[in-house]
Amino acid sequence: MKVLQCLVADDEPIARQIIENYIKEIPYLEVVATCKNAFEVMGFLQENTIDLLFLDINMPKLSGISLLKTMQQKPQVIITTAYPEYAVEGFELSVTDYLLKPFSLERFLQAVLKVQQKLTNNNTNIVIEKEEVVTSIYVKSDKKIIKLDLDAINYIEAYGNYIKIYTDQMILTPTTLSDFAEKLSNDFIRIHKSFIVNFNKLKLIDGNQMVLKNDSKLPISKSYRKIVLNKIDGV
């Protein structure tokens, strides 16, 4: 069973400690960081990826709900709060569960099991899709539906609620990078929270930068560097 990397965000030290203690009771959870406010969360996620975020609502300067609205790619999120009135808005932002303080270990475990089930379902769907030989896809752009050969794609860039697909031209389409990744073949690899590249287009790697055959230069983030190097070793 995969160990889920967890981040705990709460401005109250006692609340953070309770959640950390609960996490220690569950073998397939691991705390990788704790944060006191939303800005610390944003800073951590710029350079790291996590599987699960335990997020308080009432934090100084920027609330948990406001933080969720700024996130383009979200991990699984369990809200932990003393304020029930935010539940509807939280679920509209696709949180997995909503825990009202004080909550028991049993209720905490129920929420974690929901996350595990959701991740299992997502991974199953991705495997089924990628067992098929996919050579082309259809994308929407400016009221048009375009058939696009995967071999023609150099890289894809996140752009708010859209993505930019770079071939010999740029195509703008309304979807997220994570959702679009599910349609791609194994030739594509994520190198940064904002970039997916066609590995067949790789020319060289220069430090933390990937250079493609068309001389495009893209950043490799610290959290994805190991994935990139493993891909190279497997070629």
Give the CATH number of the domain where residue 148 resides: 2.40.50.1020
Q: How confident is the model at residue 123 (pLDDT cuts 50, 70, 90)?
A: low
Q: How many domains does the chain have?
A: 2
Domain housing 169: 136-234
pLDDT of residue 88: 76
Q: Are 209 and 194 in contact (CB under 8 A)?
A: no
pLDDT recorded at residue 72? 80
Q: Quick one: 125 and 180 in the same domain?
A: no
Residues 119 and 229 in one domain: no
> Does pLDDT of 128 surpass 60?
no
Identify the pLDDT of residue 132.
52
- Residue 185 and residue 211 share a domain: yes
Over the stretch 78-116, which tens digit does the pLDDT of each residue have? 999 998 887 777 777 888 899 999 999 999 999 999 998
**Domain containing residue 21: CATH number:** 3.40.50.2300
Shared domain check, 120 and 195: no
| Phi and psi angles of residue 187, each rounded to the nearest 5 degrees, phi first | -70, -15
Same domain assignment for residues 13 and 110: yes
Please check whether residues 33 and 61 belong to one and the same domain.
yes
Same domain for 92 and 167? no
**Are the C-beta atoms of 184 and 218 separated by less than 8 Å?**
no
Judge whether residue 231 has pLDDT over 70. yes
**pLDDT-wise least confident of 173-177, 195-199, 213-217, 229-233:** 229-233
**How long is the chain?**
235
**Angle formed by the axes of helices 13-24 and 105-131, to 10°?**
60
With a cut of 70, say whether residue 126 has pLDDT above it.
no
For residues 41-61, average pLDDT: 93
User: Quick check: 166 and 157 in contact, CB under 8 A?
Assistant: yes
Given 130, 159, 187, the domain boundary residue is: 130
In angstroms, the CA 233 to CA 235 distance is 6
Does residue 87 sit in the same domain as residue 199?
no
pLDDT score, position 179: 85
Do 36 and 81 lie in one domain? The reply is yes
Mean pLDDT score of the chain? 88
Residues 115 and 145 in one domain: no
Same domain (yes/no): 23, 118: yes
Q: In this prediction, what percent of the chain has a pLDDT beyond 70? A: 94
> Of 103, 130, 157, which residue is a domain's last?
130
Q: Which of 130, 164, 185 is the last residue of a domain?
A: 130
DSSP-H helix ranges across the chain = 13-24, 38-47, 64-70, 87-92, 105-131, 177-181, 222-234
Tell whether the model's pLDDT for residue 129 goes beyond 50: no
Give the model confidence (pLDDT) of 149-184 as tens digits: 999 999 999 998 899 999 999 999 999 998 888 888
Please check whether residues 81 and 193 belong to one and the same domain: no
What pLDDT, on a 0 to 100 scale, did the predictor assign at position 127? 44
